[in-house]
Amino acid sequence: MATPAPAQTIDLSARFPGILQPDTRPGYTGWIVDKSNLLEFASALKTELGYDYLSSLTGVDYLPEGKMEVVYQVYKTTGGPGVLFKVQVPRAEVVEVPSLMPVYPGVELQEREAWDMYGIKFTGHPDLRRILMWEGFAGYPLRKDWHEPYFEEEVKPFKSRWPEGKIVQAEGKNRFADNVTYPAGFDPENQTFKPEEALYDSLEKYQKAEIGLDTDHIIVNMGPQHPSTHGVFRVAVMLDGETVVNLKPVMGYLHRNHEKIGERNTYIMNMPYTDRLDYLASMSNNFGYALAVEKLMNVQPTERADYIRVMMAEMTRISNHLFLIGTLLNDLGAYFTPMLYALEERELILDIFEAVTGSRMMCNYFRFGGVARDLPEGTLQKVREIFFERLPRKIDELDRFLSENEIIRSRTVGQGVLTAEDAIKYSAAGPLARASGIPYDVRRAEPYSVYDRLEFDVCTRTHGDIYDRLMIRFDEIRQSIRIVQQVTKQIPEGPIVSMKPVYQVRVPAGEAYGRVEGPKGELGFYLISNGKPTPWRYHVRAPSFINLTAFGPMCVGQKLADAVAILGSIDIVLGEVDR
């Protein structure tokens, strides 16, 4: 177990005099860095102090104060608490902040997202294009003064529903052509606007091979409708024959601005919405969100609730990994037999979810200070039966079925290698990083809930190829089974929620970042409260979105067919990528 480093052993303000102030707003932590010293500060943080892992970057719009803020979270991959720092700039049509790409290349997609959503221009970013919205989109949707067509009210509950008691249905209001806004100077009839041009231009920037024939390269678009992209995900690839020379992920086809919805919802309303982020691991999402709000409210869940939460989160991890094993084998061409073998075991876990939470996938089970309801009678018995008597041997069977298969090995061993350095560089999280040999697991690096009382190993593999990423899922399933087994023995009796269940909680002003080790990697929720019933800022650090940063570099030099397998081994869920 990694020993957490003592909090803030180095006084940062003494080390960086003049360019750094502590954030003194009530409820806030971290540091405010001067914009002009940002790069210098970040590189010193990385090289001198060892904060090598940039976990999350996001924008915040403080409309009443006339300020915009960029919030950075950096951690050490050796564990321990991180450093939270912010850059503040006056609000404007387009604000400029230096890009951290030279120091932390893992910010690539996150800076593009902040540009897309907030209009924060990161100077020095080599490929700053919109990422979730399309190029012809007008405005920056997460800014507080941006309103969508059919905008009804700033926050829920809407007055039309209560107390007025009527509904306005959007489709009844649809008058053609007046629900779309175009940017200034944009004419939809005019053919000169080419939204994809910037994307294809960015594909042209690649390292030319030094030797070999002078051949023409072609651009191929794979997706958004393609079975191996696990949803509506598109990759634009520059190909030399069959070899990938450059690859860019294109996403946002499932974008619904989860964060804007979240900023209009009251705190409890967001819980069922988090289920729909990574819909294969709904209770991990519940977990992260509940932790963040509990941090803000300063409440602790009861002990029984903590154990139930951990049990549910680990079952979620197992079901998620089983799904990944199945779909990855589908991507490799082993059509549906391994998938169905894996899904059989997942089905038994979903049965438990249904009995406990009421739903197989959209569980909506966690509440602030505990969980929604106690385990029904007989649940623990069923869990014991499955986790002691069935799952261990079934996982072994699946392992025997797949892991020595020569076809799988020849397709995956040595393919799509992500080195340990690159994994840190591109902010890869979860199994993707651990398959590359980085023993980083939030459950151990910064233990939450009751993980510090449970025995389990942080699994790592060393090669960082597709095969290791497949096998690490088996390792992690075995560890999760171990955790669930311990929970069934240790779980105490007692209340399941530590505060009175109310439909509208009071959350004091401040900020909080709650993070958990989701099945796909570090899942974080960054919340800002201003004391109102709805959060002022609600940001999701989505692991499958950020893991895609490493997708392009991993594919360069590989065959196009292997890019499919590499994507499968990253494990993305489009509900979370696009949010």
Binding site for another protein (CB under 8 A): 156-158, 160-167, 265-266, 268-273, 337, 341, 344, 347-348, 351, 354-359, 362, 364, 372-373, 376-377, 385-386, 389-390, 397, 400-409, 501-504
**Crossing angle for the helix pair 391-402 and 466-490, to the nearest 10 degrees:** 170
User: Which DSSP letter does residue 573 get?
Assistant: -
Q: How far is the CB of 386 from another protein (least distance, A)?
A: 5
User: Which DSSP letter does residue 106 get?
Assistant: G
Maximal CA-CA distance, the chain: 73
For 543-575, give one letter per residue: b (16+ CB within 10 A) or e.
bbbbbbbbbbbbbeebebebbbbbbbbbbbbbb
* Whole-angstrom distance, CA of residue 478 vs CA of residue 528: 37
The alpha carbon of 153 is separated from its chain's Cα centroid by a whole number of angstroms, namely: 28
Q: Could you give the count of Cα atoms lying within 13 Å of 578 in the half-sphere of its Cβ?
A: 21
298: left (phi over 0), alpha (psi -120 to 50) or beta: left
**Crossing angle for the helix pair 303-332 and 337-357, to the nearest 10 degrees:** 160
Nearer to another protein among residue 10 and residue 170 (C-beta) = 170
Nearer to another protein among residue 242 and residue 385 (C-beta) = 385
For residue 422, the surrounding DSSP H or E stretch is helix 420-425
Backbone angles phi, psi at 503, to 5 degrees: -80, -10
* Whole-angstrom distance, CA of residue 53 vs CA of residue 445: 13
Q: How far is the CB of 296 from another protein (least distance, A)?
A: 19
* Whole-angstrom distance, CA of residue 294 vs CA of residue 185: 47
Q: How far is the CB of 169 from another protein (least distance, A)?
A: 8
Q: How far is the CB of 92 from another protein (least distance, A)?
A: 34
Q: How far is the CB of 260 from another protein (least distance, A)?
A: 14
3-state secondary structure string across 453-495: HCCCCCCCCCCCCHHHHHHHHHHHHHHHHHHHHHHHHHCCCCC
Q: How far is the CB of 546 from another protein (least distance, A)?
A: 26
Nearer to another protein among residue 347 and residue 452 (C-beta) = 347
Q: How far is the CB of 370 from another protein (least distance, A)?
A: 13
Handedness of CA 422, 425, 429, 430 (dihedral sign): positive
Nearer to another protein among residue 193 and residue 401 (C-beta) = 401
* Whole-angstrom distance, CA of residue 215 vs CA of residue 241: 8
Token pair 């829920």 is found at: 156
Task: Tell me how far apart the terminal alpha carbons of the chain are, to the nearest angstrom.
Answer: 33
Q: How far is the CB of 281 from another protein (least distance, A)?
A: 17
Under 8 Å between Cβ of 544 and 523: no
3-state secondary structure string across 226-250: EHHHCEECEEEEEEECCEEEEEEEE
Nearer to another protein among residue 309 and residue 425 (C-beta) = 309
Nearer to another protein among residue 246 and residue 282 (C-beta) = 282
Nearer to another protein among residue 96 and residue 385 (C-beta) = 385
Q: How far is the CB of 216 from another protein (least distance, A)?
A: 39
Amino acid present at 377: E
In terms of DSSP H, where are the helices of 21-67?
38-47
Nearer to another protein among residue 184 and residue 502 (C-beta) = 502
Environment class of residue 219 by beta-carbon count within 10 Å: exposed (0-12), middle (13-18) or buried (19+)? middle
Nearer to another protein among residue 32 and residue 343 (C-beta) = 343
Nearer to another protein among residue 39 and residue 254 (C-beta) = 254
Q: How far is the CB of 389 from another protein (least distance, A)?
A: 5
Backbone angles phi, psi at 95, to 5 degrees: -105, 150
Nearer to another protein among residue 6 and residue 165 (C-beta) = 165
Q: How far is the CB of 209 from another protein (least distance, A)?
A: 32
Q: How far is the CB of 269 from another protein (least distance, A)?
A: 4
Sequence-distant (6+) residues with CB within 8 A of 119 are 93, 94, 95, 140, 143
Q: Could you give the count of Cα atoms lying within 13 Å of 68 in the half-sphere of its Cβ?
A: 25
Nearer to another protein among residue 181 and residue 403 (C-beta) = 403
Nearer to another protein among residue 254 and residue 348 (C-beta) = 348
Q: How far is the CB of 484 from another protein (least distance, A)?
A: 14
Handedness of CA 380, 385, 389, 395 (dihedral sign): negative
Token pair 């399309």 is found at: 134
